[in-house]
Structure 1
Amino acid sequence: MTDSTDSGRALGGLIFETLRLAGRLTLAGDALMAGVGLTAARWQIMGVIAYLPSPRTVSALSRVIGQSRQAVQRIVNDLHTAGLVDLLPNPAHRRAPLVALSDRGQTLYAEAEARRVPWTEALAADIGDHDLKAAQTALSALRRALERREG
């Protein structure tokens, strides 16, 4: 086995904690959104759609969120069946519609946000501004490094 540097060990620890955190966020998201009838996965995709300034294809959504196109497609299909997203014609590609929140989806997402804000505010108060900014900086740098290596 090759010896790791201090930085390599620190990054390994960060990756391990990030994986553990992802699991905890999914569990917490499922619990938080149960009252509005969303899973964490559906809430996450709706959040990306709401955040972006214009409708995007499933492929574009998958790139933004860093998940496979197939996984995002499955969730978008579920959201469409539930009437929470609309599939709009895409002038650039006939077979790849643009995904937008429907009126019903916008209403449900607003309910989800009303639950999320006090939850994230309470968590932020437990952690502290300095640590949150440092964590965001480190995780953003790691994501960018991975994206550069992807090609």
Structure 2
Amino acid sequence: MSRHPLVPLVDETLRLSSRLRSVFADARKGCGLNDSEQMVLNSVVEAARANNRALTVAQIARSMGYDRQLVQRAANSLRQAGLIEAVANPDHKRAVLLGPTAEGLELKRRIDIRADAIAAELMPSLDEGQVSDATAILNGLRKQIEAHLRTAGNPRGDDHGS
């Protein structure tokens, strides 16, 4: 039976995501963060690094495709742990911006060092060019889907991430 090529890609992406989470779980070991907290910390730190800007909970939720409430709970936990902080938002009175603290930056740095070591260990069996090409293709596909969702009126298609 012929299937649209996007359908098996979804299956393969889910399988790959599961494998990557298990392989890279050691990078996060001992940091005390769950998956959603790790993703929110990544979003906050990477936005600060790449754009020197802070993000709102809603922006992070949209860029990750998650419910705002899930991201809010993770952000609250990270704030309580002293890893991120609220920054006044000149564009909105109630939607605070989230920025990393020195402790959050340091934790992310330690996690990244461990993740880089895990990636380097995997790379002898992986072709670096293929990995880079796959990353670019997936990024382009994600952006096309988000653009489609925006035109269809789906707010989760709004991409404020990379």
Q: Scaled by the length of structure 2, what TM-score is found? A: 0.79
Larger Rg: 1
- The 1-side partners of 2:24 and 2:73 are apart by 19
Partner SS, residue 29 of structure 2: helix
- Give the aligned partner of residue 59 of structure 2: 60
The equivalent of 1:38 in structure 2 is 33
Shift of 1:125: 3.0
Contact kept, 8 Å, 1:33 with 1:40, in 2: the verdict is no
Contact 1:26 1:40 (8 Å CA) reproduced:
no
Partners of 2:123 and 2:34 lie apart in 1 by: 22
SS at match of 1:111: helix
Percent of matched pairs sharing the same residue: 29
Does the 8 A contact of 1:30 with 1:38 survive in 2?
no
| SS of the residue 1:35 aligns to | coil
Q: Could you report, residue by residue, the CA deviation over 1:68-125 in whole angstroms, capped at 9, with x for unpaired residues?
A: 2222111111101111110111111111111011121112111111211111222233
Cα pair distance change 1:42/1:125, threshold 3 Å:
farther
Alignment RMSD: 1.9
Residues 8-33 of structure 1: per-residue CA shift (max 9 Å, x gap): 2x332211010112223333343331
Q: Greater helix share, 1 or 2?
A: 1
Aligned residues: 146
Q: Tell me which of 22, 38, 56 is aligned to 1:27.
A: 22
